[in-house]
A and B are shown apart, each in its own frame.
Chain A
Amino acid sequence: MTPLLEQFLSESREFSQGIGEKLMQMEDAPSDQGLINELFRLVHTLKGNSGLFTFPEMTRVLHAGEDLLGLVRNGQIAYSRELADCLLDAIDFVMVLCADIEATEQIDASRAQDSARMAESLRALMPAAQTARSVSAANSSKPATITQDAHSAELPPLAELPKATRIEALHQCHQGETLHWICYTPASDCFFQGDDPLFSARQTPGLLWGSAKPTEPLPPLAELDTYRCVLEFHLLSAAPREELDEHFRYVPDQVRIVQVNPGWLSLSEDSSEDSSAVSAQPVPAVPEGAAGEANLISAAPLKAAAKASIEDCAEQVAALESILSAQRQILMLDDRPDWGVGRLKAAGSVLLNLANSAGDRVAASEVEAALAECLATGQNSMLLLWLEASKEHLIASCVAQPGPSAYPASNPAAGPSKEPKEGAAEAEASLAKPAADEGIKFGRRAEDHVTGPRSLKVDQAKIDRLMNLIGELVVSKNALPYLAQRAETHYGVRELSREIKGEYSVINRIADEMQDAIMQVRMMAVSFVFQRFPRLVRDISRKLGKDVQLVLEGEQTEADKNIIESLADPLIHIVRNSLDHGLETPEVRRACGKRETGTLTIRAAQEADRVVIEITDDGKGIDPAVIKRKAYEKGLIDEAALERIDDREAVNLIFAAGLSTSEVVSDLSGRGVGMDVVRSAVQKINGTVVIESKLGTGTTIRISLPLSMAVTQVMIVESDGQLFGVPMDNVVETVRVPRSDLRAIKQSLTVVLRGRIVPLKALNTLLGISASPRVNSDDELAVLLVQAGGEVLGLLVDGFKETIGLIQKPLAGFLSGLSAYSGSALMGDGSVLMILNIREIV
């Protein structure tokens, strides 16, 4: 099931419930305009949504409901209880369809008829003028209600069938095939909906014959309206009913499907002529014995109708014989003696039922007696004997009894003239159409199994609260090891300490899982952001006259909702830049020997605990020399830097504020704000962005983001007896440097690490602490190499502690003005750890 369909289902349920509620409220306040508007809006939205999928059954009902509510809204009809009932039924029907979709991802074609009736009953509530205008009215010449009546009474005009077709059809009937007569009356405005009724008719499955006829006298040629359909189609098909329903599922209100009774095929006006043709057809031989017993056959006149009943009888006789021989076999089985009683009972009850259905009381009592005897003795002989003796008799009496499927044989003298009517009545019954005035009910009953929605919609604030609570749990859990330590050192109870540690590991595991679970809840696929790109790329590339193919990869990659949401704007900037500056026009590309169509690839992937998004284009790339010159012109770098920085660093200068490589400012990009904004947006969510470019072959921008912002990995450092946290994202490495290696360049300290000059700064100085950095016993200084704004810098601290994951809280109130700290966190022992904002302090 696609995410879209899932969303549709959950929304539909919500809407359906809303509609139900609103209808209930309307009962109390029938003239509340606000309610009606709301109700109309709900139905309208639901209809629109259903139109996204191929659920014509649902759309049709909702469309009728919408029309009806539209009239109520305009005050053309008054709200009434019947109207509410009808709408509630419709909504129930929609829910039934939703359940269908949930189970099978589609709506069974057999619902089409129900849907058409539902829509019709809704339209029946509208004033007549509206009904005639509405789309669903089968055709404008006949009001819908008359069509409904005509459905059941009218016999299909089989007389129009050519003789050869009719004989062929009859032949197929005799071979046990079920034929259907279809009368397809397209709506007169169907051409405007893109329908081609002739095409639909020609495509009808199992089509044996078809014809097109005008529904009204054709006008003179000069007055013909080409775009108004005045034809109707008569079709004869050998396909099963379900297939036909499926084929006509978009127009169930325009077709009438009737099962063809073999009798109708032969009993048309020219029956005498036809019956000879029928007798020429090979008719399955009727078993002698059975035929002799079934005395009605000899009495029946040898008309075609009787032929049909003979065949019915023959079929029945064959079926009965197979039933009886099966019982005999069951009785004869002796492989499992312990099953004997069960088999006796089974066979006995089959025989008993047969006798009862034949109305043969004598046989029934005989069977009962034989069964009782067999059960008493444990022998099957009595029942077998009876079966052998009374088999013929039983078959005969069964056949003689007019069963539900048998032809009315009790009155063979009635003659063929009466037959068609009875046949018609039967066909009506076999259509299993509920009486029209009863209507159809899809009401839910208490015992109905209601499938609940599988997804919940939860306010984000609730999730956040849950996350905060779990965060607190994690923190307070961390207090346990301290407690264990205290138990051992302070109170000297070693046993207790061990037990506390044991408990701690259990709580730790559960807390970790809880944290993981809540993260999962907040996870969202990047497709949420990606889905807008196809359109964006198409529009922009059109505007620029470029030919661009967009490739999206890894749309299923998930990350925290906040991360995903804050990703949207930077990505749009980058994509615009790539399209505007990166990719060339087709002419230029051809001149460079590249494919005319440029490719823009957006790829998302998860790497450890980070999400990496790469935007790659195969355009002209970035010229580092140009960037350097521009940066120098704008005063972003000085002359020394101009010489010093390598190409890679130069390319990354495009993230600096105020730099634009484009000569002209377009409405798309070139104002020099884009990439700067991208970087700050990415950094805000603790991400990094780097760019790699090769002149002439393309550019790759790589954004790396944390999976979740909830837990920050922090390294704890010590300085002047205080603990500080440094986000791991900033930490490059930790080294110990002998004091003798320090070099002073003017006022600043530096050290050469792996051939690179690294400036050093004391954390104490940065934080305004007067103490100087301490050295360890080997006269070494602890240097924490951190990355800040693309530069690596050494922080002199007193010592390194462990790294921990913690939930960072922003500084609130008066403290929020302190830019040196990005936040605070509670440690396991209850102390507060301040997290340094490296970028701000260096």
Chain B
Amino acid sequence: MPIEFKRNSAVFHDVVSVEEAEKLLEWLQRKPAAKVDLTRCNHLHTANLQVLMTARPGISHWPENSELRAWLETALNSEA
């Protein structure tokens, strides 16, 4: 399971593929206050990134992968 949906947080694991985007979107629509844990995430498909950029959920943990973290920080923090 690339994304583990807990009660109030989505935990991303390793590589999150395009198939997950739909689920992520639905979940975030239902839980506007949810947080996202990216610690173990190594890559996420562009579609997921779009969802995150649109939904702007709180990020509880940034990825340990520093290169991905830089990407996500620029994408999710700009204009925020």
Interface centre among B18, B45, B50 (most CB of A within 10 A): B50
Query: Is the Cβ of B78 less than 8 Å from the Cβ of A211?
Result: yes
In the complex, what distance in Å separates the CA atom of A230 from the CA atom of B71?
A: 17
Q: Check if A214 sits within 8 Å of B46, measured CB to CB.
A: no
Q: Name the B residues within 8 Å of A412 (CB-CB).
A: none
Contacts of A196 in B (CB 8 A): 18, 45-46
Q: Give the distance to chain B from A292, nearest Cβ to Cβ, in Å.
A: 45
**Bound complex: CA of A504 vs CA of B6, how far in Å?**
95
* B11 in the interface (beta carbon within 8 A): no
Question: Are B78 and A198 interface neighbours, CB within 8 A?
Answer: no
Complex Cα–Cα for A459 and B55 (A)? 67
Whether B49 contacts A221 by the Cβ 8 Å rule is: no
Q: A211, A220, A229: which contacts B50 (Cβ < 8 A)?
A: A229
B window 3-25: CB within 8 A of A? 18, 21-22, 25
Chain A residues with CB under 8 A of B46: 186, 191, 196-199, 212, 229, 231
**Separation of A130 and B74 alpha carbons in the complex (Å):** 36
**Does residue A684 face the partner (Cβ distance < 8 Å to B)?**
no
- Check B33 for interface membership: any CB of A closer than 8 A: no
Point out which of B32, B46, B51, B75 has the most chain A C-beta atoms below 10 A from its C-beta: B46
**Smallest Cβ-Cβ distance to B76: which chain A residue:** A212
**B75 in contact with A211 (CB, 8 Å):** yes
The answer to whether A163 has its CB under 8 Å from any CB of chain B is no
In contact, B54 and A198 (Cβ under 8 angstroms): no
Interface residues of A in 223-239 (CB under 8 A from B): 224, 226-227, 229-231
In the complex, which residues 181-230 of chain A have their Cβ closer than 8 Å to any Cβ of chain B?
186, 191, 196-199, 201-202, 210-214, 218-222, 224, 226-227, 229-230
Is B38 in the interface zone, CB < 8 Å from A? no
B67 contacts A by Cβ under 8 Å: yes
* Bound Cα distance A226, B51 (Å): 7
Contacts of A220 in B (CB 8 A): 54
A219 touches B54 (CB 8 A): yes
Give chain B interface residues in 37-75, CB to chain A under 8 Å. 43-47, 49-51, 53-55, 67-68, 71, 74-75
Closest residue on chain B to residue A214 by CB atoms: B53
Residues of B with C-beta under 8 A to A186: 46
Contact assessment for A226 and B50 in the assembled complex, using a CB-CB cutoff below 8 Å: yes
Q: How far is the CA of A218 from the CA of B51 in the complex (A)?
A: 10
Contact A198 B44 (CB under 8 A): yes
Interface centre among A186, A198, A199, by most chain B C-beta atoms within 10 angstroms, is: A198
CB pair B67 A198 closer than 8 Å: no
Q: Which of A199, A218, A224, A230 is within 8 Å of B25, CB to CB?
A: A224
Tell me the smallest distance from the CB of A725 to a CB of chain B, in Å.
72
- B contact residues around A213 at 8 Å (CB): 75, 78
- Are B43 and A212 in touch, CB under 8 angstroms? no
B72's closest neighbor in chain A, by CB?
A: A212
CB pair B55–A198 under 8 Å, yes or no, is no
Q: Which residues of B sit under 8 angstroms from A191, Cβ to Cβ?
A: 18, 45-47
CB atoms of B67 and A231 under 8 A apart: no
B15 nearest in chain A by CB position: A199
Residue in B21, B43, B45, B54 whose beta carbon sits within 8 Å of that of A221 in the complex: B54
- Which residues of A are found within 8 Å of B25, using beta-carbon distances? 221, 224, 226
Tell me whether B45 and A222 are in contact (CB under 8 A). no
Given A191-B18, A212-B71; A198-B51 close (CB under 8 Å): no
Residues of B within 8 A of A201 (CB): 71
- Given the contacts A202-B68, A202-B71, A224 and B43 also touching, CB distance less than 8 Å: no
Give the docked Cα–Cα distance between A202 and B67 (Å).
8
- Verify if B28 is at the interface (C-beta below 8 Å from A): yes
Chain A residues contacting B45 (CB-CB under 8 Å) are 191, 196, 198-199
Is A226 a contact of B55 with CB atoms below 8 Å?
no
Task: Kindly report which residue of chain A lies nearest to residue B55, judged by CB atoms.
Answer: A221
A230 to B28 CA separation, bound complex (whole angstroms):
19
Report which residue of A202, A212, A219, A220 has the largest number of chain B beta carbons within 10 angstroms of its beta carbon: A212
B residues contacting the other copy or chain, number (CB 8 A): 24
Question: Which residue from chain B places its CB closest to the CB of A194 in the assembled complex?
Answer: B18
Determine if B74 and A226 form an interchain contact, defined as CB atoms under 8 angstroms apart. no
List of B residues within 8 angstroms of A221 by Cβ:
25, 28-29, 32, 54-55
Shortest distance in angstroms between B23's beta carbon and chain A's nearest beta carbon? 9
A213 CA / B18 CA spacing, docked (Å): 18
**Given that A191-B18, A196-B18 are contacting pairs, would A224 and B68 also be in contact in the complex, using a CB cutoff of 8 Å?**
no
- The docked-state distance in angstroms from the alpha carbon of A354 to that of B65 is 54
Q: Given A218-B53, A226-B25, do A199 and B43 touch, yes or no (CB 8 Å)?
A: yes
Min CB–CB distance A187 → chain B (angstroms): 12
Given contacts A191-B18, A231-B46, is CB(A224)–CB(B54) below 8 Å?
Answer: yes
Which residues of chain A come closer than 8 Å to B43, judged between CB atoms? 198-199, 202
Nearest Cβ on chain B to A254's Cβ, whole angstroms:
13
State the CA gap A198–B51 with chains docked (Å).
13
Chain A hits for B68, CB < 8 A = 202
**Which residue of chain A has its CB nearest to the CB of B44?**
A198
Q: Which of B22, B32, B49 is the one whose CB lies under 8 Å from A198?
A: B49
Contact A212 B47 (CB under 8 A): no
Chain B: CB-nearest residue to A197: B46
Which residues on the B side are within 8 Å of A197 (C-beta)? 46
What is the chain B residue whose CB lies nearest that of A207? B67
Cα of A478 to Cα of B11 in the assembled complex, Å: 89
Q: Return A641 CB to nearest CB of chain B, in Å.
A: 68
Chain A residues with CB under 8 Å of B49's CB are 198, 212, 231
Q: In the bound complex, how far is the Cα of B17 from the Cα of A224, in angstroms? A: 18
List of B residues within 8 angstroms of A226 by Cβ: 21-22, 25, 47, 50-51
Residues of chain A within 8 A (CB-CB) of B75 are 211-213
**Which residues of chain B are within 8 angstroms of A211 by Cβ–Cβ distance?**
71, 74-75, 78
- Could you tell me the distance between the alpha carbons of A213 and B44 in the complex, rounded to whole angstroms? 16
**Residue among B25, B32, B55, B75 with the highest chain A CB neighbour number at 10 A:** B75
In the bound complex, CA of A210 to CA of B74 (Å) = 8
Q: How far is the CB of A806 from chain B (nearest CB, A)?
A: 69
Q: Which residues of A contact B22 (CB under 8 A)?
A: 226
With both beta carbons as reference points, the residue of chain A lying nearest to B28 in the complex is identified as A221
**Cα of A202 to Cα of B69 in the assembled complex, Å:** 12
List the B residue with the shortest CB-CB distance to A227. B47
Specify which chain B residues have a CB less than 8 angstroms from the CB of A222 in the assembled complex. 29
**In the assembled complex, which residues on chain A have CB atoms less than 8 Å from the CB atom of B78?**
211, 213
Residues on A with C-beta less than 8 A from B71 are 198, 201-202, 210-212
* Minimum CB–CB distance for B37 against chain A, Å: 19
**C-alpha spacing A227/B25, complex, angstroms:** 11
Question: Nearest Cβ in chain A — how far from B72, in angstroms?
Answer: 9
Closest residue to B20 on the A side, CB-wise? A226
Say whether B54 contacts A218, CB under 8 Å: yes
Using Cβ atoms and an 8 Å threshold, which residues of chain A touch B54? 218-221, 224
Q: Which of A186, A201, A221, A222 has the most CB of B within 10 A?
A: A221
- Report B50 CB to chain A, min CB distance, Å: 6
Q: Are A224 and B50 in contact (CB under 8 A)?
A: yes
Separation of A227 and B28 alpha carbons in the complex (Å)? 16
Nearest neighbor of A199 in chain B, beta-carbon distance:
B43
Q: Report the separation of the CA atoms of residues A212 and B45 in the bound assembly, to the nearest whole angstrom.
A: 12
Residues of A within 8 A of B32 (CB): 221
A274 to B41, CA, bound (A): 35
A229 and B29 CA atoms in complex are apart in Å by: 19
Decide: A224 near B51, CB < 8 A? Known: A211-B74, A231-B46.
Answer: yes
- Select from chain B the residue with minimum beta-carbon distance to A160: B78
Known A211-B74, A212-B53, A214-B53; 14 more pairs at CB < 8 Å: A186-B46, A191-B47, A198-B44, A202-B68, A212-B46, A221-B25, A221-B32, A221-B55, A222-B29, A224-B50, A226-B51, A229-B47, A231-B46, A231-B53
A-B contact pairs, 28 of them (CB 8 A): A191-B18, A191-B46, A191-B47, A196-B18, A198-B45, A199-B43, A202-B43, A202-B68, A202-B71, A211-B74, A212-B74, A213-B78, A218-B50, A218-B53, A221-B25, A221-B29, A221-B32, A221-B54, A221-B55, A222-B29, A224-B25, A224-B51, A224-B54, A226-B50, A227-B18, A227-B47, A231-B46, A231-B50
Sort A-B residue pairs by CB-CB distance and give the 10 closest, nearest first: A198-B46, A211-B74, A226-B21, A212-B75, A218-B54, A197-B46, A224-B54, A196-B45, A221-B55, A226-B22
